Every structure is written in structure tokens, then in C-alpha cells.
Amino acid sequence: MKTGFPWPKGAESVIALSVNFDADAYDLLSTTPERLFGRFSYGRYGVRTGLPRLLDLLQELAIPATFFVCGLDAQRHQSAVREIAQAGHEIASRGSSLGPVPADADELDMLQRGLDQLRTAAGTPVSGYRAPNGELGPRTLARLAQLGLGYDASFQDDDVPYRIGTTHGDLVEIPMCYALNDAHPYSARHTNARVMQIWREEIAALRDVNGLVPLTLQLRGDFGSTRGSRISMLKDLLQTLRADPGMMFMRHDSIAELVRNAGLPVEPDPILIHEDTLSHTEYRGDLAVRPH
Amino acid sequence: MDHSTPDQTRLPPSLRCAVLMTMDMDGPCHEVGRGIAPLGINSWGRYSPRRGVPRHLEMLARSGVPATFFVPGYDALHYPEVVRAIDQAGCEVAAHGYLHEAWDVPASEEEPLLRRTDDILRQTLGKPVHGWRSPSGRKSDLTMRVLKSLGYLYDSSDKDYDRPYRIRFGAAQDDTLIELPNNTYSLDDFPFFKFSHTPPSEVLSQWKAEFDGLYDNERYFVLTVHPRSGWGSGTPARTRILEELIRHIQSHEGVQFFNAAGFARWCLDNPNHLEEARS
């Protein structure tokens, strides 16, 4: 079943390589600024050690990427963010901190603050958003449109991007893929080889159906992809993908533009049909978070 | 009707091995029922109607085998055209809770919930459904009687046996249903993709080994998968291993694929081969 998606001429499949910056802001979910040492310095590893490695690799292979950065990290690592932008990569938003979704009334301010902090640090336009932990509130999509953003990249519901209409205008959704996000298997302490096996299989099959390959990396030193052995493994994979004449790397903002110009239908905001049921359904949390 | 009942189900030589491919649709109801908006990372149930179900139907048609899709009532309300497409593709639609109630449903709510989903599926399909699988495998001592009153032939929720059997839940002659047990530990996609991050090729090896063992002994094989993304099998790589598994199974002599209702009917037509157990 081919997706039939109108990729640019010559491309069978497009790879959207993204990096969740998630440095100190992630560690600050668990500790205070005075205690960002020891076990809470894996985020700093990502910036000090991981980022130069990753930028070198992307430059060597001439691959464009999208970096999602929250406002707090942008403030704390302004020069790193600027360096990423100057290397030709896209800088996109991840909110103002990596904390939980704020109450409806505070969300617009929070998102605006994150964008302001990021634009100041990056010195580039910012047109996209990825929710921390993938968690969106019922009004988040509408708020993103209200703030003039062009796309969200947080969903897990399709093999290709599509358009969502909100009360404040249309957005492009560029979905992620759970199996193509290093955070999940590395958090569960799986080996590099196992992650690579998963990725090669999932990517080959997505390519065959003309799907989007949303390869998602973390910068961090714990469950990210910038450790030396992981970077060299990543290099092997990216070299293979780059050598495939049917595959093309695109930044998220370019994909969003492609989708807007492709004349695809605009789907209704997915919250609308569920809102009433949710309003009287008890919150029970995720099913079976851990094996038992 | 008087018939001899064996102490253990034994399929006759004419049925070397029965195979049931079962897909629990588990669309957005899975999250909505837990009070979670199906947005962002919680949107992978939306993948089921958008991509996974059509992809599985196409794969099943290419493989030439039937399957049963267990569909929650809420998902059928929101994606009736997907549910009708399952039926039109020649696959069975059966019931799977309303909001995928993966908790102990109070006794007073159980029957209304079962009836509600039954009504929705009947209206969506324009014909009756014949079976049920509990969302997350929870049942009560009331469940079988309600299923029977709905006219169902079978339940496919119990985990206590590697063979089909007849459950007796009451003293009247007709107080029985066919039980088609499944195995949600090693013949289900969810544990491998959610907990152990297993590469699809390795999951395929696991399932082939499970099949080979059952083919030689119990001669009854049920696979349970979910057409969603995330921990499901809707993605291209994971649907591909389902197709390869079916090819592996088809390469064995005397294998017969059934949908669950079809196999339940076989069981009803061949009572002398079926063990009867009390619930």
C-alpha cells in the first residue's frame, strides 16, 4: 500500500532528521540549577561533547536537520543554538521549558515565551513546534496556529505529513514514529546494534511505501545518539541512506512548505470529536507503563 | 443432544492445524477511554483507521487468508467506513469493548456496555456479530451469560489453554459458549514493541517458533496484533513480518486459516472433538 504522497521529483521517500536538544532543561525536571552535576550532567554532555560531533557528521555528509529547542535551553546555551543555525540547520520550538502542558489559560504565554527566547538565541525564523514528551493540550494546535507557526511534529498517526485545521488557521502535521526515536530503546538500555537493526528494518519498509522517515535523535549523553559509538553507527546508517538515489533529506520547514503547496485537504482538529467524551471520562493514565 | 465429551480437545486428522489471525483495532478509544486526548504521542490509535487497518486488509487479501478484527464500539462510531471496509474485504468484525475498558467494569455496567457495542456494530454492518474479545482480558462471572444472550458463538479472552474448548457457564443445556483462548505474552505484538523494543525480524522468528511448536502438538494457533503504530503492527515493517509469518504457516501441510466465527462454527459442528470446561 503506497502512500502516493507527492514527494519532490525523483524522491521515493523523504527523511526528516530531527534532533531534540533537551539538555539542561531535561535535567531541570528532576533537580535544581545548583545541582546540575553528576547524574544530572548528561544534558550538558549533549551540548559539550555530543553537539560538535553531530554537527561535524552532518556537515561531512551534507545532511540538513531540524533541531527542536526549548526556551530554557536556548537561554542557557545561546552560542550552541546559534552555531546550529549558522551551520544551516533549522531551529524549531519545544516550548519554553520541558515541563508538563500548562493550563489552557497559560499556554499561549508559555508558547510565546519559548518562541521569543528561541528567536533571540537563534537569530533565525522559527516556524515549527514539537511538544515536550509529545504531550499536547486540547488547545495546543490552535495556539500554535494563533502564534503563526506553520507546523507541529508531535503526532504518531500517519506515514506521511498532512494538514489540520484549527480555530486559528491551518497547520501541517509532520508525524513522528515511535520505533525511529532513539530515546525509547536507549532509555530501556538496549544495545546500539539492536537499535540499528530496528531502524534499518523500519526505514526500508517505510521507503517501500513512499513514506516519510522521521528519524528522531536526542543530543543527550544518556538516551541520545551522540556517544562516540552511537555517532559512528549513525554515520553508517546516514551514509547508506544518502547513497540511495530514491531518498532525500529535508528539513521540517521545507516539508511543511511542500505540504502547504501540494493542495492536500485540510482535516478537522482531531480533538473535536473526542472532547465531549473526554470531559466526562476519568483519567487513568497510560495502560501498562511497565511490564508485569 | 447427547454426545461424548473428550477430556482434552483433539482436532481430527482432517484438520491438521487451525490458524486464527486476530487484529484488535484499538483506535483512539484506547486513549480516550483512559481520559487521554489522542493527540501528540497519544495519537497512535489514530494510525489504526488511517493506515494500519487498510494496510492489514491489503496484506490479508494478498495472502489469501481471512482474519477477525475485534473493534471497540467507540472506534466503530467514529470510523464506520473503516469497519464496513473490514466486512467488505471478507474479514470478520467482532466486539472488543466500548472504550476499550481495560479495568474491572462494575457489575451494573457490564451488560449495558456489551449491548451498546453490539448495537453499534450491528448498525454499522447491518448484520449481527458473533463474538467478543475482552479489552485487556478482563472478564467477570457475568460475562459469558451476557454474550450468550447477545447471540454470540464465542469468546476469545481466556489464557488458560492452548486449545479451543467449550465453556459451560450454567446448568441449562444451552448454557455454553466456544472459548478461543489467546496468548498476549508471546503471541501478541504489544509486549515486543512496547516493552522489549524487539526488531521486527526477531519478533518474526519468535512467532515462527511458537507456530512450529503448536503445529506439532496442540494444532491450534492464534496470533493477536494491533494495527496501530507505537506498540502495534500497523507500520510497514511490522505488517511485512505478518505477511512473512503467514507464508511460513502456509508452507506447512494441512493448515487451515479461519476467522474466529468460522472456527467457532466448526467447533459447534464437531462437539465430539471439544473438551467442555466449567467457567
pLDDT tens, chain A, 292 aa long: 899 999 999 999 999 999 999 999 999 999 999 999 999 999 999 999 999 999 999 999 999 999 999 999 999 999 999 999 999 999 999 999 999 999 999 999 999 999 999 999 999 999 999 999 999 999 999 999 999 999 999 999 999 999 999 999 999 999 999 999 999 999 999 999 999 999 999 999 999 999 999 999 999 999 999 999 999 999 999 999 999 999 999 999 999 999 999 999 999 999 999 999 999 999 999 886 654 4
* DSSP category for residue A207: H
- pLDDT-based confidence at residue B279 (cuts at 50, 70, 90): confident
Q: What is d(CA A143, CA A109) in angstroms, rounded to the nearest whole number? A: 10
Confidence at residue A257, expressed as pLDDT on a 0 to 100 scale: 98
Q: Which DSSP helix (H) or strand (E) runs through A208?
A: helix A192-208
Would the CB atoms of B200 and A155 count as touching at under 8 Å?
A: no
Cell numbers found for residue B4: 461424548
Q: Using alpha carbons, list the distances in angstroms from residue B172 to A116, A284, B5, B176.
A: 73, 39, 17, 9
CA distances to A97, A111, A150, A288 from A119, rounded to whole Å, are: 15, 12, 15, 39
Q: Does A274 touch chain B (CB under 8 A)?
A: yes
Tell me the shortest Cα–Cα distance from A40 to chain B, in angstroms: 25
Residue B74, chain A, CB below 8 Å: the answer is yes
A276 CB near a chain B CB, below 8 Å?
no
What is the per-residue pLDDT for A290?
59
Report residue B135 as a C-alpha cell: 479489552
Q: Which residues of B touch A273 (CB under 8 A)?
A: 78
Is residue B95 within a helix (H) or strand (E), and if so which, with residue range? Answer: strand B92-95
Which CATH entry fits the domain spanning B22-278: 1.20.140.10, 3.30.70.3290, 3.90.1300.10, 3.20.20.370?
Answer: 3.20.20.370
Give the one of B47, B58, B240 whose C-beta lies nearest to A156's C-beta: B47
Among residues B93, B144, B147, B149, which one has the least CA distance to residue B121?
B93
The minimal CB distance from A198 to the residues B40, B50, B199 is found for B199
Residues in chain B within 8 Å Cβ distance of A159: 51, 235-236
Question: Dihedral (C-alpha) B90, B184, B264, B6: value to the nearest 10 degrees?
Answer: 160
Domain boundaries, chain B: 22-278
Could you tell me the fold of the domain covering A13-277?
TIM Barrel (3.20.20)
Residue A34 is classified by DSSP as G
For the record, the C-alpha cell of A215 comes out as: 528519524
Cα three-residue angle A173-A177-A181, rounded to 5 degrees: 120
Going by C-beta distance under 8 Å and a sequence separation of 6 or more, which residues neighbour residue A168?
Answer: A142, A143, A145, A146
From chain B, pick out residues whose CB is under 8 angstroms from the CB of A68: none
B112 touches chain A (CB under 8 A): no
Contact B122, B129 (CB under 8 A): yes
Q: From CA A25, how far away is CA B89, in angstroms rounded?
A: 50
CB of B56 within 8 Å of a chain A CB? The answer is no
Question: Is A288 at the interface with chain B, CB within 8 A?
Answer: yes
Chain A residue with Cα closest to B57: A1
User: How would DSSP label each residue in A48-72?
Assistant: IIIHHHHHHHHHHHT---EEEE-HH
Q: Terminal CA-to-CA distance of chain B, rounded, Å?
A: 21
B3: pLDDT strictly greater than 80: no
Interface confidence, given as ipTM, is 0.96
Task: Tally Cβ neighbours within 10 Å of residue A51.
Answer: 22
- Find the Cα–Cα–Cα–Cα dihedral A226, A230, A236, A238, rounded to 10°: -40
Residue B198's pLDDT is 97
Q: Tell me the C-alpha distance between A128 and A141, whole Å.
A: 11
Question: Which pLDDT score is estimated for B66?
Answer: 98
Closest residue on chain B to A280 (Cα): B35
